[in-house]
Structure 1
Amino acid sequence: MRALNYTFEHLDTLMDDANLDAMLITSKHNVKYLLGGYSFLFFSAMDAIGHSRYLPVFIYIKGQKDQTAYIGNTMEKWEVENVPLWAPHIYPVSWRSDDSATQAIEHLGKMGFDKGRIGIEAPFMPSDALDLMRGALPDCSYHDVTAVMQNLRAVKTPAELDLLREASERITDSMQATIAASGVGSTKHEIIERLRQEEVKRGLHFEYCLLTLGNSFNRTASDQAWAEGELMSIDSGGNLDGYIGDICRMGFLGEPDQQMIDLLGEIEEIQQSTFNTIKAGTTGAEVIAAGQAALARQPNKQYTDFFGHGMGLVSHEAPFLLTNHPVKYDGRDAEAPLKAGMVLSIETHMQHPERGFVKLEDTVTVTETGYEMFGTRGRGWNTTS
């Protein structure tokens, strides 16, 4: 059996708080989490198949672990033969989203569940599947379970923290190798491809690279070439067994002058002021306020932005500390105390009108007495020639 990073007691409590009797989970990241790390490789890159899409379904009835079911694609029968899943009921029968919904209806009927409040992930439930559910189970009502799953995942286990730590370490090593191998004339296309290869070589699934050179704020790939005396900001997300490493580091072609040293120093002061407030029991609002206060003291504050957010399986998850900054969601956890095992991304960037885009992004986990930072190497100027 795959180790689980949650308890059913905790899940049942969260479902009680949301007044839910059952839940159907259909996002690939949450299905993987609930199954203990299992996902079907065939659909790892995309969901589309034929006229429909791959729709894995995890079914849980509150307090009834023995009635849990997993519905997957027909080809998954070979996967679960090799590595059996813990869920007692496995149905590798689906090719389309309506197949998955039909099997979910059948399973709930076998379990005697025909009325109650069912939690669904509204952003991840296709309309054809939901229409089938509503038609077959008219005495059930459907409610968004997204917040329940976010709260279930908010505090990471030591095993999850190890994956996040390792992902960050591998990304920062990849970035330093990429900067060192780049030089005059290296284009953004070439640098991003080199980083991709470095991350893959270290066992990561490369997700993205946001890159700037010189005084441009454009962070997408292009034929722009790196020139002597210019900065590089390199921001990348890499995935290790489902967990995101996401950091930003700075490079410089040549030796940074005093202005560049001072600009990165402003960013670092904001980051460190924020880190120093992080510990279990401190509210998210207090952490954000510390960063904002440090930002307000900086000479280039008019060009600078600061924010923090939770991360783990996805790059923005609980705890949610800010509202609609930079991603659109409510900062519902701002006034709640942080808990040991929560993971935060702390980001500060400056769009300097003459020198370009200067940024540090760091991943930290909350501890009882403070914090631990992941992927600490390369936080200053990484120089090459």
Structure 2
Amino acid sequence: MSFAYSEGNPVEDTSRLHKPPFDTSRLDRLMEEAKLDALLVTSKHSIQYLLGGYRFFFYDYMDAHGLSRYLPFFIYVKGKPLDSGYVGAPMERYEKQLGKFWVSNLDLTNYTSTGYAGAAAEMLKKVGGAKGNVGIEVGFMPIDAYKVLQAKLPDAELVDGTFTLEMLRALKTPAELQILKEASEKVVDSMLAVISRHGPGTTKTQLFEALRQEETARGLKFEYALTNIGTAFNRAPYDKVWEEGETLALDSGGNYKGYIGDLCRMAYTREPDQELVDLLGQVELVQQAARKGLRPGVRGGDIFDWANGALSRCSVRDKMFFSAHGMGIVSHEAPWLMSTAFPRYPAYHAERPLEEGMVISIETELHHTQRGFIKLEDTVAITKDGWEAFGDHGRGWNIAGR
């Protein structure tokens, strides 16, 4: 694989070197609490965070290559942030020249999962972290790479460090919050554009593709769209036609600079009748109740107390469902507020205080067998004095073709 240096290439940018883009003191504290001495990080989302937003463009969609796979490693030793390192692929030398790495310990010579793992083990030895408890992301570690680490790090105990890395991302910086705000606004704007240009006679597949195009045009990477028309509760894209007098729910996630905007908005083929206004009004009642008291220091589980209080006043409460979860680089990241979420995880923050910088997705849905699937999903950030909702427009009945 060639990489010719010439006068035509850009001058290597070193302006980011040795400037960690995350709170290293917080990571050290979290590692101390978890009794971790070092970390070998392999998930794309965690590496993205630790490298300040970096993802190698060549493997952005697919890790498989030949008979193996792309498996980058970020190496971190507690208390020694400037000794951190990165193991990647040969073509990442292009990214190095563009100044994408803040770490100077780099090994960009690998092609297979076992090769990446072997290089990571050697780098960990080089920086004095090859003993004690070494955290890995168990769900993101292939067995062949794990066996290489076991063989090359005989003095280390490989333990799961996933929780520590997830907790590190729980508190967003102002820059991260701005990205999430823009992501949310762009997703809602995309939904409203689709609704304004489509109406009865359009299929779910066409709506799905239209939303993909609108999000892409706004600089988002389209991740998914869960769509519901009328009383068809199957949320996959297929040839179901949006008929006159049917509701439409658009629930979509768009990725902007590595962060997810995930919201849901409603549409109808004409001006809604009073029953539809009342039904969406009950969903809105719960959504507003769930956010009204948010601020640093309140118990995470209070969201559900407030929402359940509003649900008890709804005439269709037996058909309504409320949930809340953390948002950021990953959907359902910290704070973890409910043990019945999908996917399942412990409600770690239900009895703990919320903190400034946490971001929460709040969603209420109504499964009405006569009028259809009705839902709102909002993204709310905990601020110093309370909360701020991102992409908070388009909350009522949006009319097709307008």
Residue number among 52, 59, 64 corresponding to 1:48 in the alignment = 64
Provide the rounded CA distance (Å) in 1 between the counterparts of 2:57 and 2:92.
Answer: 9
Contact 1:178 1:194 in 2 (8 A): yes
Letter in 2 for 1:214: G
Residue number among 250, 259, 278 corresponding to 1:262 in the alignment = 278
Query: What is the CA distance between 1:213 and its match in structure 2?
Result: 0.7
Provide the rounded CA distance (Å) in 1 between the counterparts of 2:208 and 2:163.
Answer: 35
SS in 2 for 1:70: strand
Contact 1:5 1:157 in 2 (8 A): no
Partner residue in 2 for 1:11: 27
Provide the rounded CA distance (Å) in 1 between the counterparts of 2:225 and 2:190.
Answer: 12
Partner residue in 2 for 1:58: 74
Residue number among 178, 203, 206 corresponding to 2:222 in the alignment = 206
Partner residue in 2 for 1:187: 203
Query: What is the CA distance between 1:5 and its match in structure 2?
Result: 4.7
Partner residue in 2 for 1:118: 134
Letter in 1 for 2:54: Y
SS in 2 for 1:238: strand
Query: What is the CA distance between 1:324 and its match in structure 2?
Result: 2.7
Normalised TM-score (structure 2): 0.94
Residue number among 14, 29, 40 corresponding to 1:24 in the alignment = 40
Q: Which runs of 4+ in 1 moved over 6 A?
A: none
Provide the rounded CA distance (Å) in 2 between the counterparts of 1:325 and 1:67.
Answer: 38
Query: What is the CA distance between 1:6 and its match in structure 2?
Result: 2.1
Matches within 5 A, 1:370-385: 370-385=386-401
Letter in 2 for 1:101: A
Provide the rounded CA distance (Å) in 2 between the counterparts of 1:108 and 1:327.
Answer: 33
* 2:367 paired with 1:351: yes
Matches within 5 A, 1:130-145: 130-145=146-161
Provide the rounded CA distance (Å) in 1 between the counterparts of 2:194 and 2:91.
Answer: 39
Cα pair distance change 1:361/1:5, threshold 3 Å: farther
Provide the rounded CA distance (Å) in 1 between the counterparts of 2:216 and 2:64.
Answer: 25
Residue number among 117, 133, 144 corresponding to 1:128 in the alignment = 144
Normalised TM-score (structure 1): 0.98
Partner residue in 2 for 1:275: 291
SS in 2 for 1:93: coil
Query: What is the CA distance between 1:138 and its match in structure 2?
Result: 1.7
Provide the rounded CA distance (Å) in 2 between the counterparts of 1:193 and 1:153.
Answer: 32
Partner residue in 2 for 1:221: 237
Contact 2:326 2:334 in 1 (8 A): yes
Matches within 5 A, 1:231-242: 231-242=247-258
Query: What is the CA distance between 1:368 and its match in structure 2?
Result: 2.4
Letter in 1 for 2:381: T
Matches within 5 A, 1:62-211: 62-211=78-227
Give the unaligned 5+ runs of structure 2.
1-14
SS in 2 for 1:142: strand
Residue number among 325, 332, 337 corresponding to 1:309 in the alignment = 325
SS in 1 for 2:118: helix
Query: What is the CA distance between 1:214 and its match in structure 2?
Result: 1.3
Letter in 2 for 1:330: P
Moved more, 193-202 or 101-110: 101-110
How many residues are aligned here? Answer: 385
Provide the rounded CA distance (Å) in 2 between the counterparts of 1:221 and 1:56.
Answer: 34
Q: CA RMSD in A?
A: 1.2
Give the unaligned 5+ runs of structure 1.
none
Contact 2:37 2:129 in 1 (8 A): no
Provide the rounded CA distance (Å) in 1 between the counterparts of 2:21 and 2:295.
Answer: 22
Identity of aligned residues (%): 47
SS in 2 for 1:6: coil
Provide the rounded CA distance (Å) in 2 between the counterparts of 1:5 and 1:220.
Answer: 38
Contact 1:6 1:153 in 2 (8 A): no
